Amino acid sequence: MFSQATQFSVFLINKPAILAKVCESLAEKKVNLRAITLMDSVEHGVFRVVPENTEKCREVMKKLDLPMTETDVLCAEMPNRPGALADLCTILNNERISIKYAYVTSGAAGGRTIGIFKVNDPKKALKLKVSGKTKGRREKKVVRKSRAIRTK
Protein backbone atom coordinates (compact mmCIF):
# COMPACT_ATOMS: atom_id res chain seq x y z
CA MET A 1 0.00 0.00 0.00
CA PHE A 2 2.72 2.47 1.03
CA SER A 3 6.30 2.85 -0.04
CA GLN A 4 8.95 5.00 1.57
CA ALA A 5 10.62 7.89 -0.25
CA THR A 6 12.93 10.80 0.46
CA GLN A 7 11.48 14.29 0.36
CA PHE A 8 13.71 17.34 -0.02
CA SER A 9 12.44 20.55 1.59
CA VAL A 10 14.29 23.47 0.06
CA PHE A 11 13.95 26.89 1.68
CA LEU A 12 13.77 29.61 -0.94
CA ILE A 13 13.93 33.36 -0.38
CA ASN A 14 11.02 35.18 -2.01
CA LYS A 15 12.86 36.71 -4.96
CA PRO A 16 12.24 36.39 -8.70
CA ALA A 17 13.97 33.52 -10.52
CA ILE A 18 14.94 31.46 -7.45
CA LEU A 19 12.36 28.71 -8.11
CA ALA A 20 13.19 28.76 -11.82
CA LYS A 21 16.89 28.24 -11.02
CA VAL A 22 16.11 25.20 -8.85
CA CYS A 23 13.77 23.69 -11.47
CA GLU A 24 16.24 24.36 -14.31
CA SER A 25 19.05 22.70 -12.34
CA LEU A 26 16.90 19.61 -11.72
CA ALA A 27 15.90 19.50 -15.39
CA GLU A 28 19.51 19.79 -16.60
CA LYS A 29 20.43 16.69 -14.59
CA LYS A 30 17.25 14.91 -15.77
CA VAL A 31 15.82 14.55 -12.24
CA ASN A 32 12.20 13.50 -12.64
CA LEU A 33 9.91 14.57 -9.81
CA ARG A 34 7.18 12.26 -8.54
CA ALA A 35 5.51 15.00 -6.50
CA ILE A 36 6.03 18.66 -5.57
CA THR A 37 4.46 21.30 -3.40
CA LEU A 38 5.39 24.91 -2.76
CA MET A 39 4.24 26.83 0.29
CA ASP A 40 5.03 30.42 1.05
CA SER A 41 5.39 32.71 4.01
CA VAL A 42 6.34 36.36 4.22
CA GLU A 43 10.09 35.76 4.11
CA HIS A 44 10.58 32.46 2.30
CA GLY A 45 8.96 29.57 0.49
CA VAL A 46 9.32 25.86 1.16
CA PHE A 47 9.68 23.81 -2.02
CA ARG A 48 9.09 20.13 -1.24
CA VAL A 49 10.03 17.58 -3.88
CA VAL A 50 9.95 13.79 -4.00
CA PRO A 51 12.31 12.73 -6.81
CA GLU A 52 12.49 9.40 -8.61
CA ASN A 53 16.27 9.41 -8.15
CA THR A 54 17.25 10.54 -4.65
CA GLU A 55 21.02 10.60 -5.26
CA LYS A 56 20.82 12.74 -8.41
CA CYS A 57 18.47 15.17 -6.65
CA ARG A 58 20.78 15.37 -3.63
CA GLU A 59 23.74 16.22 -5.90
CA VAL A 60 21.78 19.05 -7.56
CA MET A 61 20.60 20.46 -4.24
CA LYS A 62 24.11 20.42 -2.76
CA LYS A 63 25.48 22.33 -5.76
CA LEU A 64 22.75 24.97 -5.38
CA ASP A 65 23.86 25.47 -1.75
CA LEU A 66 20.37 26.37 -0.49
CA PRO A 67 19.08 25.61 3.01
CA MET A 68 17.51 22.17 2.79
CA THR A 69 16.35 19.20 4.82
CA GLU A 70 15.69 15.58 3.89
CA THR A 71 12.71 13.73 5.35
CA ASP A 72 11.37 10.21 4.97
CA VAL A 73 7.79 10.28 3.72
CA LEU A 74 5.29 7.69 2.58
CA CYS A 75 3.99 7.41 -0.97
CA ALA A 76 0.68 5.79 -1.80
CA GLU A 77 -0.62 5.17 -5.28
CA MET A 78 -4.35 5.78 -5.42
CA PRO A 79 -7.06 5.81 -8.07
CA ASN A 80 -7.84 9.30 -9.33
CA ARG A 81 -11.47 9.37 -8.17
CA PRO A 82 -13.57 11.23 -5.61
CA GLY A 83 -13.05 9.79 -2.13
CA ALA A 84 -9.74 8.00 -2.73
CA LEU A 85 -7.89 10.32 -0.33
CA ALA A 86 -10.70 10.00 2.24
CA ASP A 87 -10.43 6.19 2.07
CA LEU A 88 -6.69 6.29 2.67
CA CYS A 89 -6.99 8.78 5.55
CA THR A 90 -9.64 6.55 7.14
CA ILE A 91 -7.38 3.50 6.92
CA LEU A 92 -4.57 5.42 8.66
CA ASN A 93 -6.99 6.79 11.26
CA ASN A 94 -8.35 3.32 12.02
CA GLU A 95 -4.78 2.25 12.80
CA ARG A 96 -4.25 5.38 14.95
CA ILE A 97 -1.60 6.73 12.58
CA SER A 98 -1.59 10.53 12.63
CA ILE A 99 -1.00 12.46 9.41
CA LYS A 100 1.28 15.45 10.03
CA TYR A 101 0.88 16.78 6.48
CA ALA A 102 0.05 15.47 3.02
CA TYR A 103 -0.09 16.51 -0.60
CA VAL A 104 -1.31 14.72 -3.68
CA THR A 105 -0.44 14.80 -7.37
CA SER A 106 -3.37 15.50 -9.66
CA GLY A 107 -2.97 12.44 -11.85
CA ALA A 108 -4.72 11.81 -15.12
CA ALA A 109 -8.48 11.49 -15.39
CA GLY A 110 -9.39 7.87 -14.72
CA GLY A 111 -5.75 7.10 -13.98
CA ARG A 112 -3.66 6.95 -10.83
CA THR A 113 -2.40 9.63 -8.49
CA ILE A 114 0.29 9.64 -5.79
CA GLY A 115 -0.28 10.80 -2.23
CA ILE A 116 2.69 11.93 -0.13
CA PHE A 117 2.23 11.60 3.64
CA LYS A 118 4.32 12.60 6.65
CA VAL A 119 3.00 10.46 9.51
CA ASN A 120 3.82 9.88 13.16
CA ASP A 121 4.47 6.13 12.75
CA PRO A 122 5.87 5.32 9.29
CA LYS A 123 7.01 1.81 10.28
CA LYS A 124 3.47 0.87 11.25
CA ALA A 125 2.04 2.44 8.10
CA LEU A 126 4.50 0.53 5.88
CA LYS A 127 3.19 -2.74 7.33
CA LEU A 128 -0.43 -2.02 6.39
CA LYS A 129 -1.92 -4.29 3.76
CA VAL A 130 -5.26 -3.90 2.06
CA SER A 131 -6.64 -7.25 1.02
CA GLY A 132 -8.60 -7.34 -2.20
CA LYS A 133 -10.23 -4.28 -3.70
CA THR A 134 -10.86 -1.17 -1.66
CA LYS A 135 -14.45 -1.08 -0.51
CA GLY A 136 -16.89 1.15 -2.36
CA ARG A 137 -17.90 4.60 -1.15
CA ARG A 138 -21.18 3.43 0.42
CA GLU A 139 -19.50 0.76 2.52
CA LYS A 140 -16.77 3.17 3.63
CA LYS A 141 -19.31 5.72 4.89
CA VAL A 142 -20.42 3.22 7.52
CA VAL A 143 -16.84 2.84 8.74
CA ARG A 144 -16.36 6.61 8.93
CA LYS A 145 -19.58 7.19 10.86
CA SER A 146 -18.82 4.48 13.39
CA ARG A 147 -15.37 5.79 14.35
CA ALA A 148 -14.51 9.24 15.61
CA ILE A 149 -11.56 10.80 13.85
CA ARG A 150 -8.87 11.75 16.31
CA THR A 151 -6.96 14.92 15.64
CA LYS A 152 -4.15 14.87 18.18
pLDDT tens-digit series, residues 16-27? 899 999 999 999
- Rounded Cα–Cα distance for residues 76 and 35 (Å): 11
pTM for this model (two decimals): 0.78
pLDDT digits (tens, 9 = 90+) for 29-75: 999 999 999 998 777 899 999 999 999 999 999 999 999 999 999 99
* Domains of the chain as residue ranges with CATH: 7-70 (3.30.2130.10), 73-131 (3.30.70.260)
Closest among 89, 93, 62 to 78, alpha carbons compared:
89
List Cβ neighbours of 141 (8 Å cut-off, separation of 6 or more).
none
